[in-house]
Chain A
Amino acid sequence: MSNKPIIKITNLWWKYEGRKNWALKNINLEIYPGEFIAIVGPNESGKTTLAMSMNGLIPNNYKGFMKGDVIVAGMDTKKYSTGDISKKVGFVFSDPESQFLTMTVEEEIAFGLENLGLPVEEIEKRIKWAMKITGLSEEFLEKPPYELSGGQKQRVAIAAVIAMKPEVLILDEPTSMLDPIGKTEVLNVLKELKRSYNATIIVIEHRLEDIAPLANRMILIYNGEILKDAPPKEFFDDIDFLLKHYVFPPEAMVYIDKLRKFGIYEGSIPLTFDESVKAVRESIRGITK
């Protein structure tokens, strides 16, 4: 990972027009190329506002009052339009339905690439690549995106954004409107993106058990402030702190945390199911010795 941050947020304050409270309060954040960041927090805590401030929708498309600076891939969001920033930052919205702009999957993926003015051959290549990485077969190309299942729709939305090959990819609650199958499909795409797509990925997500093993860093936002920014192991180290701020870790983590409090387990909080099984085994071994 490079030493120079791809996103640098300094003393950012944001208040929507007509609102009394600040949606974001004194945010200071540096994100480095290639990092996979998970942003968590309860509803109305400022997660989406923070995400939109990273692709220029804030302050360019929303009315409000801003203090501080957001520099993304060398571009000051106050000086560049969202359209310009979109060449570097891709944004996937939570509602797959409302982000479709055309009538077929092929047009949908090609839309951003046409806006970039890429040659036809390059667009063709990128469509194939984006379809492959998101697990969509070519038979989808002619279909209207709104006739697909929830998971397929969100995968089309992701394909449409990654085809533009942004340096930063932001996904705002990409699974929140999907059924369990759709959620699994999208999470598999996130795994594939982490494995094969060399970009900075920022995901706002409530499903901590799925996102924690993928993340390099986890950020807790509460009431417009960053309360915690740490690697996953460290992030889940204080379960009570998370629960106090309405972030609910997986049951397995809470269980292991209880074992730790009882003095039965001494290790770190496990992030995956397999790690949890291992932790329980160690605890049982400790008791039976």
Chain B
Amino acid sequence: MSTSSKVVKMRRTLLGYLPLESPMHKFHPLIKTFFLLIVSAYPLLIDPPEWNLIGAIVMIIIFVIARVPLRILKYYTAIMLNIFWIIFIAYTFFGGYMPGYHVITKIGPIIISWENIMMVFVIYLRMFFAILVIIFFLSVARERDVIVGIRALKLPYVIAYTVGLAFRSIGLSIIDFNTIREAEKARALDIKALPLAQKIKKFGMYIVPLVALALRRTDEVSNALESRGFKFTGVRGYKRTDYIVSKYKFQAKDYVAVIVMISILTLILYLKYFTPYMSLHNSILLKILSRFFEVKT
């Protein structure tokens, strides 16, 4: 029996691993930060749910083009479904009532109106698109990309470094948490097997040593920083070199990416504020749904 398997080299990202052959590695790290900042603004500006649905579908296509393993989305399906149910229950049953709302039905004191159901779709599809943008960013960006992005924007180094240190602290806290958990398991405390109330009660057993370790780490990191010539004050009489940023050059494709993202943003702003296409009254999906609920709008 013969098997042929191709070894795919991967690079670690904030959320997992991305193949080295992904086109996303060819972009300047700042583009990934721009992507998060600009594209995540799209769903905030778009009201008609079908537009956000199209945005979400485009995002999935981008996932495929960028070679981001789609199984990553599977991990977030439960979260997305939970968000839907929370929004659905909150708006449908507890969305409130205003004179002029189209009442569909009443359950005791609860009034179910078309306007609240409409908001479920508007808000959920807006969040769905935004969550995909965030998952995409976390799947293609590394900590280094974020830091290089901030440094390339010429923000004070202390900001970039604080962000970097935050990433580092998360990693250290996870290591410390695992060490504490193993140590407590070795002494017969395994909260996994306990009921929820007991879990919450015993959680302090983890938190106290974790805080103590975090305080010790603060001391160690501060010593390591000073020992390698770092000064938060910036008073050193010369400019700090930006070696890591100098390794990346903004190329034609990076400019094209920025132009495309900003152009789409401008178009959305134009359609939203200067045309009727982005209004909820013109939403095709909402028109279909209103017919389904037999609402005359």
Query: Interface digits, B130-146 against A, CB 8 Å rule (1 contact, 0 not)?
Result: 00000000000011100
Query: Interface digits, B233-263 against A, CB 8 Å rule (1 contact, 0 not)?
Result: 0001011111110100000000000000000
**In the complex, chain B residues whose CB is within 8 Å of the CB of A82:** 223, 226-227
A86-B227, A146-B175 given; A101·B165 CB < 8 A? yes
In angstroms, Cα B179 to Cα A97, docked, is 13
Q: In the complex, which of the residues A102, A106, A142, A161 contacts B11, with contact meaning CB atoms closer than 8 Å?
A: A142
A115-B230, A146-B175, A160-B228 given; A57·B240 CB < 8 A? no
With both beta carbons as reference points, the residue of chain A lying nearest to B241 in the complex is identified as A114
Task: Give the Cβ gap from A148 to chain B, nearest Cβ, in Å.
Answer: 13
In angstroms, Cα B225 to Cα A82, docked, is 9
Task: Give the Cβ gap from B139 to chain A, nearest Cβ, in Å.
Answer: 17
- Indicate whether B168 reaches chain A with its CB closer than 8 angstroms: yes
A57-B226, A83-B230, A104-B144 given; A123·B243 CB < 8 A? yes
- Indicate whether B172 reaches chain A with its CB closer than 8 angstroms: yes
Q: In the complex, which of the residues B171, B217, B228 contacts A112, with contact meaning CB atoms closer than 8 Å?
A: B228
User: Which of chain B's residues 160-188 have a Cβ closer than 8 Å to chain A?
Assistant: 164-165, 167-168, 171-172, 175
**In the complex, chain B residues whose CB is within 8 Å of the CB of A86:** 226-229
Q: Is the CB of A61 within 8 A of B226?
A: yes
Q: Is the CB of A61 within 8 A of B223?
A: yes
**In the complex, chain A residues whose CB is within 8 Å of the CB of B12:** 144, 147
- Indicate whether B220 reaches chain A with its CB closer than 8 angstroms: yes
Q: Is the CB of A101 within 8 A of B229?
A: no
- Indicate whether A87 reaches chain B with its CB closer than 8 angstroms: yes
> Which of A82, A97, A104, A112 has the largest number of chain B CB atoms within 10 A?
A82
Q: In the complex, which of the residues B144, B228, B231 contacts A111, with contact meaning CB atoms closer than 8 Å?
A: B228
- Indicate whether A95 reaches chain B with its CB closer than 8 angstroms: yes
Give the bracket for the number of chain B residues in contact with chain A: 35 or more
- Indicate whether A22 reaches chain B with its CB closer than 8 angstroms: no
A57-B227, A83-B231, A103-B168 given; A98·B220 CB < 8 A? yes
- Indicate whether A277 reaches chain B with its CB closer than 8 angstroms: no
- Indicate whether B222 reaches chain A with its CB closer than 8 angstroms: yes
In angstroms, Cα B230 to Cα A25, docked, is 31
A101-B221, A144-B12 given; A161·B228 CB < 8 A? yes
In angstroms, Cα B12 to Cα A82, docked, is 34
Q: Is the CB of A93 within 8 A of B221?
A: no
In angstroms, Cα B223 to Cα A118, docked, is 22
Q: Is the CB of A114 within 8 A of B172?
A: no
A93-B220, A103-B164, A110-B244 given; A81·B226 CB < 8 A? yes
**In the complex, chain B residues whose CB is within 8 Å of the CB of A57:** 223, 226-227
- Indicate whether B224 reaches chain A with its CB closer than 8 angstroms: yes
**In the complex, chain A residues whose CB is within 8 Å of the CB of B230:** 83, 101, 111, 115
Task: Give the Cβ gap from A214 to chain B, nearest Cβ, in Å.
Answer: 23
- Indicate whether A60 reaches chain B with its CB closer than 8 angstroms: yes
Query: Interface digits, B83-103 against A, CB 8 Å rule (1 contact, 0 not)?
Result: 000000000000000000000
Q: Is the CB of B229 within 8 A of A116?
A: yes
Q: Is the CB of A114 within 8 A of B226?
A: no
Query: Interface digits, A111-143 against B, CB 8 Å rule (1 contact, 0 not)?
Result: 111111111100110000000000000000010
Task: Give the Cβ gap from A9 to chain B, nearest Cβ, in Å.
Answer: 19
- Indicate whether A14 reaches chain B with its CB closer than 8 angstroms: no
Q: Is the CB of B223 within 8 A of A117?
A: no
Q: Is the CB of A123 within 8 A of B228?
A: no
**In the complex, chain B residues whose CB is within 8 Å of the CB of A107:** 144, 147, 244
Q: Is the CB of B222 within 8 A of A61?
A: yes
> Which of A103, A106, A118, A123 has the largest number of chain B CB atoms within 10 A?
A103
**In the complex, chain A residues whose CB is within 8 Å of the CB of B231:** 81, 83, 115
Task: Give the Cβ gap from A85 to chain B, nearest Cβ, in Å.
Answer: 9
- Indicate whether A156 reaches chain B with its CB closer than 8 angstroms: no
In angstroms, Cα B186 to Cα A38, docked, is 38
**In the complex, chain A residues whose CB is within 8 Å of the CB of B239:** 117
In angstroms, Cα B230 to Cα A160, docked, is 13
7 further interface pairs, Cβ-Cβ under 8 Å (given A114-B242, A115-B231, A142-B11): A55-B227, A83-B229, A101-B164, A102-B164, A107-B144, A114-B241, A117-B238
A-B contact pairs, 17 of them (CB 8 A): A61-B223, A81-B226, A83-B230, A93-B220, A98-B224, A99-B220, A100-B224, A101-B165, A103-B144, A107-B144, A117-B239, A117-B241, A118-B241, A120-B246, A123-B243, A160-B228, A161-B228
Kindly list the 5 A-B residue pairs having the minimum CB-CB distance in the complex, ordered from nearest. Answer: A115-B229, A98-B220, A112-B228, A82-B226, A103-B143
Interface, chain B (partner A; CB < 8 A): 11-12, 142-144, 147, 164-165, 167-168, 171-172, 175, 217, 220-231, 236, 238-244, 246
